[in-house]
Chains A and B, each alone.
Chain A
């Protein structure tokens, strides 16, 4: 069983000690960092602090030194975002801080994505993502997309203000088994239900798993609308996506 003292980076040790309270999450995060090399832990610490320029530089240097793109992504970036996600869920940090960390992750991913794309690794599954009709908010959706891509999904981003027809068309065109809808406004949330109804009307509901999320969305509302799952935040979205397509967590 890994211990906190097994992690070299002092900042990471302090973050885990201060913010990761649930035993299962602490065990998982400890396990991911214990196996991470010192440079990967440094990248993770910089990401958690939102230092995008440092992450950019360290990622580049790690890749040049021969570290694999997958290792940098998993041990440096994704592991760090897991801590960020939990801090956000528990209200230790809020959206500005998450955006800052996401900006740092993007800086690292900018070096990693071209390498992964060229490597021909098969994605876990295709996911269609979009904000519902009438809603122009996309921060939460974009965070989910970033985390889904990092976790190995191929994401087709339909952007904001997405009509039920566009969701339908995208699922059919890309033969995607998974669809994610986001809404930030209580006034636009009902459009999630309308979209699900459109899939029923088109006789496509059985072909796609539908997950929903967004600040005002709850599990009860997701159930009421007939969604297959609800994710409270980007970390939960990835876990839900894996569960819905039957992938290993």
Chain B
């Protein structure tokens, strides 16, 4: 994908406000095979050409189904995964060019909150040790008294009792563990927090507590968030701007309200219509767009528009040959900040093109899928195997 990024005009934000600028980011994982000598027999195109800008103080929500590369993108932004191509400019510095000590120092400004609170906390460390480790690494604990006050502040910020410091992760409930994870991310006073599915492992009532906490902390510390989630309602609730990912690429990007009021990309429409609504009146009356089949393998993505194999609006021309780029569309009432990667967005929005049925057989062509890649495992399964 060529990188022709235009700052969305009319958004009224000067370039200086951009905290994180991702351009043409690609992460490809090699697929290796062989008993003695590993041969690379292909690549998993986990992230394949993504441009996105996150402004200071905003929350950017990234949604997509499992295997679409959203977590890999988050990790690549933090340089936890080395990008194959493209650049990640954070606060004016290109992270991809940094190495060793310089990169390590930079990490203080970018922290991550993980999905599984128990798995991401060391079971043998008390909360105090957990929180101090990061601070020590960045030289923030030279004065023991200051560090002590900082810990108390952190605990009260995330709503944990003071005696939590001497406890181990297993002594907490799921919601409290996630609070510990958030406190750890906050401990080094970062600017950007990448939260990868921060609430999906939690119960509904606890989930709401953590969402509220994230919002409060943003206000208090002026944080910038990149929230990665598969739950559209959660993303909608906390995000200013939202990007929808499908198979390694962004297919639509807009302000939260615009995206939900007028989804332009067929995939976004299907995704929104698939979310169960906790209201029987709505459930009885609404029309669902059921997508046939599964996500195609990211090792062998479809040509042209990646979504064309499952798209109910697919056209005989262009969709299969030409990969659409994110562009501003000329539809009434759609602002310039709303960009979509679909050749036919205008015609679909105006109702000129109608939906048609998609043959399921088109979707899962067995011979086209690499036998060693289970599409449901996606990129994660493959990296584990080749690591």
A, B from the same assembly: no
- Which A positions have Cβ atoms within 8 angstroms of B? none
- Which B positions have Cβ atoms within 8 angstroms of A? none
